[in-house]
């Protein structure tokens, strides 16, 4: 269980789309745990958009609350492994979609300036990515299928280093 998975679970909890069994577990925990209760309430009041919420939970969850929730969610995860796999798959799916969108934006020349700079800087020190991106630009279409694992992981890291809320492509 990493922070991102936790954030998804909490966001689903708050927007009501969480699996009922997991939700019950979380309710029981929150009822007994003041920091988590306060945190959840704060977000219920402060947010109405799920997207925004996911972002904010990831970046603003206080460390103390995060570790309490993590311990709890880990315990719940042991009880409902198949639900947790669903969340994992969801996180992975969204990550791949984002990588694909970034590559497409790169081909179309629509990367945000900060993203373009990050890609450029990274490629200057990473021959594998440089070759891949150069190839993309030459072919001006994404290669069939997913990018090689190394490229995929570098692009993922690159996206994660963007400031919170920063879009990687131009509108």
Site for Zn ion, rule CB under 5 A = 33, 36, 68, 126, 129, 154
Please, what is the minimum distance in Å from the beta carbon of residue 161 to Zn ion? Answer: 13
Please, what is the minimum distance in Å from the beta carbon of residue 163 to Zn ion? Answer: 20
Dihedral sign (CA 3, 5, 8, 10): negative
Please, what is the minimum distance in Å from the beta carbon of residue 72 to Zn ion? Answer: 6
User: Buried (b) or exposed (e) across 70-102, using 16+ Cβ within 10 A?
Assistant: bebbeebbeeeeebbeebbeeeeeebeeebeeb
Question: Closest CB to Zn ion among 33 and 162?
Answer: 33
Question: Closest CB to Zn ion among 54 and 154?
Answer: 154
Please, what is the minimum distance in Å from the beta carbon of residue 126 to Zn ion? Answer: 3
135-142 long-range contacts (CB < 8 A, ≥24 apart) are: 136/103, 136/106, 136/107, 137/106, 137/107, 140/107, 141/107, 142/100, 142/103, 142/104, 142/107
Question: Closest CB to Zn ion among 68 and 88?
Answer: 68
Please, what is the minimum distance in Å from the beta carbon of residue 20 to Zn ion? Answer: 20
Question: Closest CB to Zn ion among 39 and 87?
Answer: 39
Rounded to the nearest 10 degrees, the angle between the axes of helix 127-139 and helix 113-125 is: 130
């Amino acid at each position: 269980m990493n922070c991102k998975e936790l954030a998804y679970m909490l966001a689903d909890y708050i927007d009501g789309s969480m699996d009922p069994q997991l939700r019950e577990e979380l309710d029981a925990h929150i009822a007994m745990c003041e920091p988590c209760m306060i945190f959840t309430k704060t977000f219920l009041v402060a947010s109405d958009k799920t997207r925004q919420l996911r972002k904010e939970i990831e970046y603003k969850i206080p460390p103390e609350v995060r570790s309490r929730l993590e311990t709890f969610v880990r315990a719940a995860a042991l009880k409902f492994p198949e639900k947790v796999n669903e969340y994992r798959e969801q996180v992975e799916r969204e990550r791949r979609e984002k990588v694909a969108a970034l590559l497409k934006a790169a081909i179309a020349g629509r990367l945000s300036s900060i993203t373009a700079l990050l890609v450029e800087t990274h490629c200057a020190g990473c021959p594998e990515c440089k070759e891949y991106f150069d190839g993309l630009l030459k072919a001006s279409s994404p290669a069939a299928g997913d990018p090689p694992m190394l490229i995929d992981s570098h692009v993922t890291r690159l996206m994660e280093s963007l400031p919170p809320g920063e879009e990687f492509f131009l509108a």
